[in-house]
């Protein structure tokens, strides 16, 4: 159930519509620091819907004289940006103070009469009592200026974000919480992911790998079969996740490195992007032969050597997975 309109406006009021509003964007006059970018807000509105089967003579009446049905709706929007301006501190005054190196606090200018405006992008609209599955319709008429905006309740936000997924928890992948509303979980439909294409696009450092890993973990917990092509080894740690232990199998190609001549191995190493220094090149054959000798030992002796090099390098994975005749052994030995 949605929160009552009276309670919304008193407990969760955030601002009033001002200036020009369209079906795609409107502005809110808000108090300072009461709202942030990316916040979800709502506005209650009324929409008159002309009847298609109304008599011709009624259709010809002025709009205000028609007895048209009124539908109460809720308009959903997201705060795109916040603007602050002090009308009593114009730009000209600021330039004058900058030119004379004057501190604004040493003047009689008012520095406290700020006007804060939130520019909001319309996401859609629904009936005031809530829509089935949280579906939002396109808003085709702008909300009225001077209308009050409020912060929707967590249940309403979850209903709109998740839709029917709220009732399909076996398919719901819990990947994050909503920005500015940590109590609202963001979930995606695992079935839609495996039956369609998915791309995770963001700037460097924005969390693409973290998101992909979270989706993979959630899909594995829901028993979706997964195959990961991981040339950089970013997801090998999934085998260490408590809930996925004994459910992850690693498959990787093995290059018979010690069956090759040292020059071939040097060419392969450098093709991976590591240019060897002159010192490495001059010592490479000795290192190569030493690593080859290290791995050529009886089982008991090999275990002892593995434990020693694991302790020496402080690398527990060496002891856990053992030494293999591959490039990792050559790197560890070096």
Tens digit of each residue's pLDDT (9 = 90 or more) over 84-106 = 888 777 787 778 778 888 887 77
pLDDT at residue 70 is higher than 60:
yes
Tell me the C-alpha to C-alpha distance, in Å, between residue 201 and each of 176, 198, 209: 16, 10, 10
The per-residue pLDDT for 4 is: 47
The per-residue pLDDT for 48 is: 75
CA dist., res. 50 & res. 70, Å (int): 9
254 is written with which tokens?
A: 């093995």
Q: Looking at residues 169-178, what average pLDDT do you find?
A: 88
Each domain of the chain, given as residue ranges in start order, spans: 5-153, 168-244, 257-333
Backbone torsion region of residue 56, taken as left when φ is above 0, otherwise alpha when ψ lies between -120 and 50, otherwise beta: alpha
Share above pLDDT 90 across residues of the chain, in percent, rounded to a whole number: 32
Taking the complete model, does pTM exceed 0.75, yes or no? no
pLDDT at residue 1 is higher than 50:
no
CA dist., res. 207 & res. 218, Å (int): 16
Q: Looking at residues 1-16, what average pLDDT do you find?
A: 61
pLDDT at residue 293 is higher than 60:
yes
Share above pLDDT 70 across residues of the chain, in percent, rounded to a whole number: 89
Angle at 114 between CA 110 and CA 118, to 5 degrees: 165
The per-residue pLDDT for 62 is: 58
Return mean pLDDT, the chain.
84
210 is written with which tokens?
A: 């973290």
pLDDT at residue 261 is higher than 80:
yes
| Position 2 confidence tier, pLDDT thresholds 50, 70, 90 | very low
pLDDT at residue 6 is higher than 50:
no
Q: Looking at residues 210-217, what average pLDDT do you find?
A: 89
Cβ atoms of 284 and 298 within 8 Å: the answer is no
118: closest CA among 155, 149, 87, 91?
Answer: 149
3-state secondary structure (DSSP) of residue 112? coil
| Position 67 confidence tier, pLDDT thresholds 50, 70, 90 | low
């Amino acid at each position: 159930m949605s929160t009552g309109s009276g309670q919304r406006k008193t407990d969760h009021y955030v601002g009033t519509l001002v200036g020009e509003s369209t079906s795609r964007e409107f502005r809110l006059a808000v108090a300072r620091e009461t709202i942030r970018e990316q916040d979800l807000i709502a506005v209650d509105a009324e929409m008159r819907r002309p009847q298609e089967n109304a008599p011709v003579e009624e259709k010809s009446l002025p709009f205000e004289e028609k007895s048209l049905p009124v539908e109460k709706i809720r308009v959903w929007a997201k705060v795109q940006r916040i603007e602050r301006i002090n009308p009593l501190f114009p730009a000209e005054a600021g330039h004058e103070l900058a030119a004379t190196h004057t501190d604004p606090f040493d003047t009689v200018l008012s520095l406290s009469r700020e006007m804060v405006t939130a520019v909001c992008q319309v996401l859609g609209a629904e009936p005031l009592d809530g829509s089935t599955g949280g579906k939002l319709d396109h808003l085709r008429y702008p909300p009225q200026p001077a209308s009050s905006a409020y912060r929707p309740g967590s249940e309403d936000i979850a209903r709109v974000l998740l839709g029917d997924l709220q009732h399909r928890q076996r398919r719901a992948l819990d990947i994050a919480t909503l920005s500015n509303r940590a109590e609202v979980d963001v979930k995606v439909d695992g079935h839609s992911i495996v039956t369609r294409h998915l791309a995770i696009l963001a700037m460097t450092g924005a969390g693409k790998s973290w998101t992909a890993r979270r989706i993979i973990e959630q899909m594995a917990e829901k028993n979706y079969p997964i195959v990961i092509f991981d040339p950089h080894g970013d997801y090998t740690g999934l085998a260490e996740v408590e809930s996925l232990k004994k459910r992850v199998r690693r498959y990787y190609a093995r290059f018979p490195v010690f069956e090759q001549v040292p020059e071939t191995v040097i060419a392969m190493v450098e093709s991976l992007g590591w240019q060897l220094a002159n010192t490495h090149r001059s010592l490479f054959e000795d290192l190569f032969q030493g690593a080859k000798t290290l791995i050529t030992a009886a089982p008991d002796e090999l275990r002892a050597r593995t434990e020693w090099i694991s302790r020496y390098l402080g690398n527990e994975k060496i002891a856990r997975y053992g030494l293999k005749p591959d490039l990792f052994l050559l790197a560890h030995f070096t």
